[in-house]
Amino acid sequence: MLSGRGHILALFIVIFLFLAQSALAEPSRIIEAKEIIEKIEQRQPVAYENVIVKGDLNLSRLDNRERKAGKENIQYSAGRAEIDSPLRISNSVILNQVYLNKLILKKPVDFHGTRFMSRVSLNDLWFNDTPNFNNARFEDDADFSTSRFNALAIFSSAQFGQTAYFRQSEFNQKARFVSAQFNQTAYFKKARFLKEAEFRSAKFGQSASFESAEFAQNANFKLAKFQQAADFQKARFDQAAVFESADFFQDANFDQTQFSQTANFESANFHQESYFRNSSIQNALFNDIRFKEDATFDNVRIENLSLKGTDVEKLDLRWSSIQDLAYDDSAYVLLRKNLDMRGYLDDASECEFSYRCEHRADLWTKQDFGRWLFDFLAYATYGYGLRPLWPLGWSMTFILIGGLFFFLTNSIVRSKQFSQLTESSVNRIVMEKAAGKVSIWESLLLSTTYFTSGASNIISATPSEFVPVGLARYVVVLLRLLGWIFFVIFLSSLTRTI
């Protein structure tokens, strides 16, 4: 019983300490926004924590008219007021609107943990030192359009309750939006990220627009969640783009997007349609992806593609768009089946041919030389049944070799009966020819006749006016055998491709 009372007492103490700590964390003092403005005008540091700021924090009146009025505290550069004061208002609440437009903030800006209850307008602003909005909350619109971040920009775990505008913003250093939450539309149209862009585990409650955005370094969207449409149309990724394990719950648009290096979509989930039309991808890692609706890849160009473990049934991708597919038995088989099902018969054949070539290389790597030899013969003779012209090429080659052999070795002679007939019926020149050497054309004709007679006497009968002697007798047998083999191979490949 005493032990139970002790546990209950300890629990009350923990609850009391937690409430006390929470009370300490709440803003405890109210200050006027004009007090902050006055400090900035006097170039004094601004440092507040756990306060409530009342009134509009508006510095838009710091323009050239202030200098003309005799206020020289504020310096100007390129028509912009330079703010030398460090600005820190952390873990606080700002009740009214914030206007810090067309300024140059030369010192650190720290709003971490601060809650903005009204509209925040920080557009066309230059941050020359680190702006820290870690864990900040924007209850109304937040506008950072055309702003320039010349130092590390921290928006990790920030929450944007309304529309977030970063259109045409420029991030010259790293941009951290790790675990940021955008409850409404997020506009990053034509934004430029010159260093790493971190959107890992970010959540986009409404549409996310990265149309025509530029990512000069690595862009990380791993584990990001796009609840509505994700628009990356015409975006450019100069380095690695990571969308590993990302969730796209609505349409994902990557039309005309350029991936100059690796595009990593491993384990991503596309719940609705996705589009990669007219895009360019250097290395596409599409392993273990789930496409629940059609994924359209019209006119796409992919240098290297990996589809291990991916369900390709919804993949609308032509084989001609792929330069190289990473070897994986199931990926090749499923992709070929998908191409065949969509009616891309030529693409399906090319996919199978590439698979067989990759399989042959795999046999060599595994040192399975017996199977590799038979596989190589199947490739070389008739292209695994997918190249019907190859048997014809080989046939012409063997006929030419046979004809040259007959001609150069003089191993074909005219029969006695033919010589006698020639002597009694034609002039002396013809008799000399009959008794003499067989011509090159006659040798090629004989080689063709022997080769085709191997398939069937219906195609070509064995000539009786010429007799093979010496080694030619073995060559004739070999030509007939090869003729039969390549006739069967030709028919086999022809039936598969027509």
Is 312 found in the same domain as 243?
yes
Percentage, residues of the chain above pLDDT 90: 51
Q: Summarize pLDDT for 232-277 with one digit per residue, the tens.
A: 999 999 999 999 999 999 999 999 999 999 999 999 999 999 999 9
pLDDT at 28: 67
Is 374 found in the same domain as 303?
no
pLDDT at 416: 59
Which of 316, 332, 357 delimits the end of a domain?
Answer: 357
Is 374 found in the same domain as 349?
no
Residue 201 lies in a domain: yes
Is 251 found in the same domain as 335?
yes
Is 457 found in the same domain as 309?
no
**Domains contained in the chain, number:** 2
Q: Summarize pLDDT for 28-74 with one digit per residue, the tens.
A: 689 999 999 989 888 899 999 999 999 999 987 665 444 444 445 66
Residue 83 lies in a domain: yes
Is 395 found in the same domain as 302?
no
Greater confidence (18 vs 343) lies with 343
pLDDT at 169: 97
| Lowest mean pLDDT, pick from 149-158, 207-216, 276-285, 456-465 | 456-465
Say if residue 87's pLDDT is above 60.
Answer: yes
Would you put residue 157 in left (φ > 0), alpha (ψ -120 to 50) or beta?
left
Residue 4 lies in a domain: no
Q: Summarize pLDDT for 207-230 with one digit per residue, the tens.
A: 999 999 999 999 999 999 999 999
Give the range of the structural domain holding residue 204, as residue numbers without chain letter.
Answer: 27-67+76-357
pLDDT at 251: 96
Show the tokens assigned to 316.
């609308």
Is 373 found in the same domain as 289?
no
pLDDT at 340: 87
Mean pLDDT of all residues in 282-290? 95
Q: Where does the pLDDT of residue 163 fall: very low under 50, low under 70, confident under 90, or very high at 90 and above?
A: very high
Q: Where does the pLDDT of residue 457 fall: very low under 50, low under 70, confident under 90, or very high at 90 and above?
A: low
Is 187 found in the same domain as 44?
yes
Residue 20 lies in a domain: no
| Lowest mean pLDDT, pick from 306-310, 333-337, 409-413, 431-435 | 431-435
Q: Where does the pLDDT of residue 2 fall: very low under 50, low under 70, confident under 90, or very high at 90 and above?
A: very low
Is 405 found in the same domain as 349?
no
Is 98 found in the same domain as 167?
yes
Strand partners, 437: none
pLDDT at 450: 83
Q: Where does the pLDDT of residue 23 fall: very low under 50, low under 70, confident under 90, or very high at 90 and above?
A: very low
| Most confident stretch, 107-111, 332-336, 401-405 | 107-111
| Lowest mean pLDDT, pick from 108-112, 164-168, 395-399 | 395-399
Show the tokens assigned to 29.
């003092």
Mean pLDDT of all residues in 144-151? 96
pLDDT at 219: 97
pLDDT at 422: 47
Say if residue 473's pLDDT is above 50.
Answer: yes
Q: What is the mean pLDDT of the chain?
A: 85
| Most confident stretch, 21-30, 245-254, 320-329 | 245-254
Q: Summarize pLDDT for 359-370 with one digit per residue, the tens.
A: 888 888 888 888
Is 404 found in the same domain as 463?
yes
pLDDT at 448: 86
Mean pLDDT of all residues in 412-428? 54
Say if residue 430's pLDDT is above 50.
Answer: no
The model carries a pTM of: 0.77
pLDDT at 486: 83
Length of the chain: 498
Is 482 found in the same domain as 386?
yes
Say if residue 485's pLDDT is above 60.
Answer: yes
Q: Where does the pLDDT of residue 11 fall: very low under 50, low under 70, confident under 90, or very high at 90 and above?
A: very low
Which of 310, 329, 357 delimits the end of a domain?
Answer: 357
pLDDT at 385: 79
Q: Summarize pLDDT for 92-140 with one digit per residue, the tens.
A: 999 999 999 889 999 999 999 999 999 999 999 999 999 999 999 999 9
| Lowest mean pLDDT, pick from 24-28, 239-243, 311-315, 486-490 | 24-28
